[in-house]
Chains A and B, each alone.
Chain A
Amino acid sequence: MGGIDLSRIFTLSLFATTFRMATPVLFATLGGIFSSQAGIFNVGLEALLNIGAFFAVVGSVNTGSPVGGLLYAVVACVIACLFFSVVHLELKANAIIVGLAMNIFASGMTNYLLVTMLDSTGFYQSDLIIGFKTVEIPFIKDIPVLGDLLSGHFPLVYIAFFSVWLVYLILYKTPFGFHLRSVGENQDAAESVGINPKKMRYLSMILCGVFCGFGGSFLSLSYLTLFSEGMTAGRGWLALAAINFGEAKPVRSLIACLVFGFADALALRLQQFGLPSQVVLMLPYVSTLVVLLGSAIADERKRKALNAKHRSAETALT
């Protein structure tokens, strides 16, 4: 690493890339937060991103517009989530197994449909795919540093970060969010005050599908306008780690997403400097472990400090 000038790595565009790379993980995370809060640990996020990315491409080709692609992706993901819900809630299958099954099914399905619908193997790239265009924000784009950071992103990037606030509002400031959380917290108590747990779980899964549809279509219709096998590259799993880290709270999970986005952006940048791609591509996954370890260490410190405080308070009293 001796020959690499750090100031050339840590540029403004690196941080702008961070927002871009965090976006798909963030969408999946927000979707997963809804189902987690309602008591379904959805490990099928990777599958949903995959399905979303594929159908976004199909939709874009069919309708000739990225918005059409987004709609296709959302509908496909919602259908997949409803299928998940029926198998889990009606047929009483284990949610984690159903989630893992969905990952396997989705990878088979997208590959199969790639051959039979789009007539290509491995990946599909075409001029027929119309992607989103970047958006310049009128005033902010002229401000030196902020302009580079915040302006010129794809619309879905703005929607993703705006959604964090929206999800927070829905979950914590509306009766609907309160009901949803109560189902996850204590199903019997929720039921006793007239909330239908099954209905809330279905709704949470539908919302999960909507967000994953957005995330998937960002993958295939924004920076890249193509679909390739395995293009989700574990982002659904990263989202799962973010939910785990953030205890299914939107703002806390956002922090984890930004760390993963940064690791991804750094990986891209380091690749341009000639570091072996295999090594730098490990970064997001290694950073997940580091983030989880860091938060565990911080939690323990906090607990120890609290204990020490209690103890000194006790000795002061006696």
Chain B
Amino acid sequence: MQKTTRKPVNSFFKKIFVEAGTQVANYAIIFLISILIGALVIFLSGKDPIAAYKALWIGAFGNGLKFADTLDRSTVMILAGVAGALAFRTNVTNLGLEGQLYMGAFAAAWVGFSIHGLPSYVHIPLCLIAGCLGGAIWTLPVIYLKLRWNITELVTTLMMNYIGIRFTEYLIAFPFKDPTATLAGSPVLDASARLPKLMQGSTLNIGFIIAIAVAIFVYWFLFKSKTGYEMRMVGLNKDFAAASGIPVNRSYILAMTMSGAIVGLGGAIMITGFFGRFLGSFSSGYGWDGMMIALLAQNHPLGVLPASLFYGALANGALAMQSATGVPQTAVVMVKGSIMFFVTVTVFVPYIRRRLEKWVA
């Protein structure tokens, strides 16, 4: 019975241990199931799953350069993920990240190839701001339809995706067609609009640092500022927030436009940092990735960082896997889909918690 004196401290640590252990074990189960589903699919198509995953790992983290490329891949995913987390946490179902990404990317490209003779320290910020505006403007019809006519953004944002992608395709096919290019794309950006690289031999650029800064800013905004607090209250219970005098409509407008601006910035960084011109269908579903990343991070802006690194690694490693083992890189898409299937599964949690509590006690 000597232990009783230590009990309060002990149980506090036990509590934290059980809480953290539950989270970790829950994610471990989700990842394990998803990776096993991927392995099963690879196995059924007659390939060696272990070799495939090994090639994927080496492709993503094999050496410093590959790791830098993985970080570069995760840049746009961080921004898309933060945009998703901001929207979902404030009860805004923004499924239009993909369209907003395209609009932001095009706006940035436009500023990049049509304005000449600016120094880099003016041209780059202009491009990035244009990207934010492009993404934000694309949410305005959605906001109008929601607030004036009460039409759910679940449907309208999806439609705006298709309209945005087609619209940018039109822009590069007609008004801004580059006559010299073989691919459907805009003219090449001026050198003054290109983001400086961080590392020789890799595509990693300062966009990555900007993305992390945005994630930290959104964390501060949501969790430390008054407006952010109000917006989270709206996310928790809209009617209660309205009854306590929080401007619900303002919260909706802010969340939607900020979300669009952030993912638009992601598009702008892809264009100014990676491609150097706007290309038709350049995004391989980064907007959708952002949504999944936000879910995986439980809509926490800082949780987005590790989740994006994971998704960036999958994207970067997939190509290496395909060329090394012949397993099509779309196998990775199935793993991503499986994670999303199970990420909101809650039945594991109480079970794990009970087991952990019993084990600790």
Contact = CB atoms under 8 A, between A and B. Distances in A.
Please say whether chains A and B are actual partners in one complex: yes
- Interface size classification for chain B: 35 or more
B331 A237 contact: no
A282 B151 contact: no
B343 A285 contact: no
B162 A105 contact: no
Interface string A93-114: 1101110111111111101100
Contacts of A276: 170, 173-174
A169 B113 CA distance: 60
A96 B154 CA distance: 10
A147 interface: no
Nearest to B170: A278
A288 B159 CA distance: 8
Contacts of B150: 296
A64 interface: no
A234 to B, nearest CB: 5
B328 A285 contact: no
Interface in B21-58: 41, 45-46
Nearest to B148: A296
Contact of A234 (B154, B162, B174, B288): B162
A293 B169 contact: no
Nearest to A288: B159
Contacts of A292: 145, 149, 151, 155-156
B198 interface: no
Interface stretch (B63-71, B220-228, B333-341): B333-341
A291 to B, nearest CB: 10
State the majority secondary structure of interface residues on A.
helix
B159 A279 contact: no
A25 to B, nearest CB: 13
A297 B145 CA distance: 11
A237 B341 contact: no
A286 interface: yes
B11 interface: no
Given A101-B340, A112-B45, A292-B151, A285 B163 contact: yes
A112 B159 contact: no
A312 B339 CA distance: 58
B152 interface: yes
A239 B154 CA distance: 13
Contact of A282 (B162, B330, B334, B339): B162
A289 interface: yes
B292 interface: yes
Interface in B270-295: 285, 288, 291-292, 295
B183 interface: no
A296 B337 contact: no
Contacts of B343: 93, 97, 101
Contacts of A93: 341-346
A108 B151 contact: no
Contacts of B338: 101, 105
Contacts of B176: none
B144 to A, nearest CB: 9
B167 A111 contact: no
Given A93-B346, A279-B166, A108 B332 contact: yes
B125 interface: no
A282 B141 CA distance: 15
Given A91-B347, A97-B340, A98-B341, A104 B156 contact: no
A103 B174 CA distance: 32
A299 to B, nearest CB: 9
Contact of B347 (A92, A102, A297): A92
Contacts of B149: 292-293, 296-297, 300
B159 A285 contact: yes
Contacts of A96: 154
A43 B291 CA distance: 15
Given A102-B341, A108-B336, A282-B163, 13 more contacts: A93-B343, A93-B345, A98-B344, A102-B337, A105-B340, A108-B333, A109-B333, A112-B331, A115-B330, A240-B155, A285-B160, A293-B149, A296-B149
5 contacts: A101-B340, A108-B332, A109-B333, A112-B334, A234-B158
Q: Which 4 A-B pairs have the closest CB atoms?
A: A108-B333, A105-B337, A101-B340, A278-B170
